[in-house]
Structure 1
Amino acid sequence: MRSIIYYFLAAVMFTGCRRNEATMPEFNVNTDQLAYKAGDTITFYLSGNAGAIVFFSGEAGKAYENRNRKLMPGVERLVFQTSMQQGPVPPKPCPDSLQLLISTNLEGYDAEHISKATWTNITSRNSKWPKSLATSFTTSDSIDISDFNKADKVNIAFRVLNKKTGVMPQRKWVIQSFSLYNFLPDSTSTPLFTNFANTGWVQASLLNNNEPGTAENNYVGFNAWNVGTWGVSAADSVRNSNGIPIRNGYPVTFNPGTNIDNDDNDDWLITSSIDLKTTKPDVGVVVQNEVALKSATYKYAFKKAGTYQVTFVATNNSLEDSKSQVKQLTLKILP
C-alpha cells in the first residue's frame, strides 16, 4: 500500500513539473519575396503555435543583435546654458571665473576627495560663454568629451573661482538645461543626463562659507551653489549646509552676494558619476501576446533603402519557464 502511495505522489509531482514547463513553439515566417522598394507594405506570414511574437526590423534602434547592449562607445556631447551676472562690466577685466572640468577618478564629494581627484580643465572646449552681464542665458557649443569614454565613470563639474577685490561684487553664475548624450555610429543616441533629477547635482564649498542662510537673515545665504551636498536633495532637506534653500529643478545658481569685501570663493557643482558608454538596448515590437487573438500576418514598411536582417522571436511561457525560437529573414529594400 505504501509503495502505491509513493508512486502516486511521484506521478503527481512529475505531472506538476510538466505543467510548469513551457513547450518549444513551432513557428515559421515567410514573405512573398525578399526584395521590396522603400515604402512598400511587406506582409509577413506567420504560422505555428507561439503564444507571443516580437518583431525586430533590423533598422537603427531595432536590431535583434543589440537587444542586450548596455555599453557602446560613441561620440558623447555635452550642452548647457549659462548666465553671468554682477561684477565688472565686460570688457573690463575680472579675476572671477567659471570653469568646466571632468574627472575619471573622483571617489567622494567632500573637499578631501575633490582635491585628491585628477581634474581635466575643458573650459576652452566651449567658445560660447556669456560675454555680457545679463539674466538671459547663453547656450554652449555641443562639446565633445568622447576622449574620456574609456573610463568606467566620469564626473563633470562647474568650478567657481571668485576673488576678493574690495571694489566690486563677485560674479554671480547661473546654469540650466544641462544635457549629455551618447551618439552611436548607427545614428541612434542614448540620453545620459537630460534633466535636473537624473543629473544628480552635488555642491561642495571649499573656500568661504561666510554669510550662511539663518533665521536672522530669513535664510538668504550666499557663497555656495543652491543644491545639496552628497546624499542631500530637496526631498531630504529644505536647506543645504550653507543654509541656502535647495533647488529641485533648474536653474542652479552660485550667488556670492553683493559685499565688495567678500572673501575668495572656490565652489564646485558636480554631477553624479556616469559611464559615457552607457547605451539603451534596441527594442522590438510586440506583434502578438498571449492575451490577444493570434494573427496570421504582420505588415511593415521600410522607409529607407538598405539590407535589413529581420528577426521574429516566438515564445511560449509558463509560470516558471519560457522557451523561444528565433526566425530571421534578410530583406533588400530598394530606393
Structure 2
Amino acid sequence: MKKSLLILLPILAAACSKKLEVAAPDFNVTLDPARRVADTFTYRLGDTTRFKFSGAAGNIAFYSGEPGKRYDGRSAAYKLGRIMLSFSSKAEFGTQANTLQVLATNKLKGLDSAAVTDAAWTNISNRGTLASNATVAPFGAVDVTDLVANENDSLFIAFKYSGVTGTTQRTWTITEFTVNNVLPEKTVLLSSLSTDVAYWTRYGNVWSPANGRWTASATDLKITGGNSSASGNTSWIVTRPLYAGRVPGDVSTGIKSINEPDKQEYAYVYPAPGVYRVAFVAFNHTLDEEKSVIRELIIKVTP
C-alpha cells in the first residue's frame, strides 16, 4: 500500500498544478477602404463609423480616442495643469458688508476646528465677483494653480461666513461650484456640489438654530443669517482634500463579453471633428492566464 501511494502522489500533484491555458484571440478590425488616405480613414461629422470584425475573441474593449477614452491614457497618473475654481453666489436680506470670504490652502494639518481656523489660508475673494444682492453673480473661472506646490499636492477651498448682532444678517447661497484640473488634452473634475455633497465639513461657533450654520446639498451651499437680535456668527464650510494633479486613467467601452456571441461589426458616431487614434483590445482569459491583441486605427472627422 505504501508503494502505491508513492506512485500516485506525484501524479495527483502534477494534476493539481496544471495551469489553465488560453489561446490568443484571432481578431482583426477593418474600415471602408474607400475612406482611406495614407494611414487615416476620413469621415464627415455625423457619419456612422462602421468597424468590421473578423476572427473571434472572448472580450472586446473599445477606446474611441476621444478625451478620457484614449488607450495611451488608460493608466492613472499625476499631472498638474491649471486648477480652475468657479461658482455663483447670491446674497439676500440685510446690508452687512464683507460677510463672506472665499479661502484656499494646501496646508491644512487636520480637520478639527482649531486646525481649520489656525491654518494659513489665502483670501481669494477678490479674484472674482461675489454677489451684492439677490441677483445671482458668477464668480468667474479663477486660476488657483499658484496655491498648490506640485502635482502631488492637495488643495482645500473654504467659505467663511461672518454675521454680527445689531442688524439683519445676510443669507448666502453658493451654486454651480466646481474645481477642475484643466490639461491640454482633457479636463479633470476635482470637485463639484453633486459629487461631493457628503464630504463638505462644517465648523463654527453657532450651532443653534441649525440654520445658523452652512448646509450642503447636491445643488447648493447655504447659510441663513439671523435677525438683528441674533448672536454674532462665524461659520465655515470646507471641501474635502482635492488632489490637484491626480488624473484617473482613461476608460474603454466594453462591447463584447465572453458570454455573448461573436460580433460582426461595431458602429460609432463621433460627436465632434478631430483626429482620433482608435484602439480595440480583444482578450481571452482564464483564472490563470490572459492573452490579448490590440488593433489600432486613425480616424479623421471633418466638419
TM-score (norm 1): 0.74
Partner of 2:240: helix, strand, or coil? Answer: coil
Secondary structure in structure 1 of the residue aligned to 2:22: coil
Q: In structure 1, how many angstroms separate the alpha carbons of the residues matched to 2:28 and 2:243?
A: 40
C-alpha distance in structure 2 between counterparts of 1:56 and 1:81, whole Å: 36
How many angstroms apart in 2 are the aligned matches of 1:156 and 1:78? 9
SS in 2 for 1:161: strand
The residue matched to 2:110 in structure 1 has which SS? coil
Q: 1:299 to 1:254 in 2, by over 3 A?
A: closer
1:8 partner SS: helix
The ranges of structure 1 where at least 4 consecutive aligned residues each deviate by more than 6 angstroms after the TM superposition are none
Q: Which position in structure 2 is the counterpart of 1:172?
A: 171
Q: 2:128 aligns with which of 121, 126, 129?
A: 126
Q: Percent identity over the alignment? A: 28
How far apart, CA to CA, are the structure 1 residues paired with 2:260 and 2:132? 60
Counterpart for residue 107 of structure 1: 109
Query: 1:197: Cα distance to partner?
Result: 5.8
Shift of 1:46: 3.1
Distance across 1 between alignment mates of 2:173 and 2:25: 59
Contact 1:96 1:162 survives alignment (8 Å): no
Aligned CA distance change for structure 1 residues 258 and 75 (closer, same or farther; 3 Å): same
1:145–1:30 distance in 2 versus 1, CA, 3 Å: same
Whole-Å Cα distance in 2 between the matches of residues 271 and 328 of structure 1? 41
Match of 1:6 in 2: 9
- Partner residue of 2:85 out of 73, 78, 85: 78
Task: Answer yes or no: is 1:54 the counterpart of 2:61.
Answer: yes
Structure 2 CA distance for partners of 1:304 and 1:63, relative to 1, 3 Å:
same
Q: CA deviation at 1:333?
A: 5.4
Say whether the 8 Å CA contact 2:77–2:248 is kept in structure 1. Answer: yes
Aligned residue among 262, 284, 292 for 1:294? 262
Q: 1:60 to 1:2 in 2, by over 3 A?
A: same
Q: Is residue 203–residue 237 contact of structure 2 (8 Å, CA) maintained in 1?
A: yes
Gaps spanning 5+ residues in structure 2: where?
Answer: none
Counterpart for residue 160 of structure 2:
159
TM, length-normalised to structure 2: 0.80
Contact 1:202 / 1:270 at 8 angstroms: preserved in 2? yes
1:29 and 2:29 aligned = yes
> C-alpha deviations, 1:291-321, integer Å up to 9, x for none?
1111243344556555433222111121343
Q: 1:267 aligns with which of 227, 235, 244?
A: 235
Q: CA RMSD in A?
A: 3.0
Asked if 2 retains the 8 angstrom alpha-carbon contact of 1:96 and 1:171, the reply is no
The answer to whether the 8 A contact 1:183-1:190 is kept is: yes
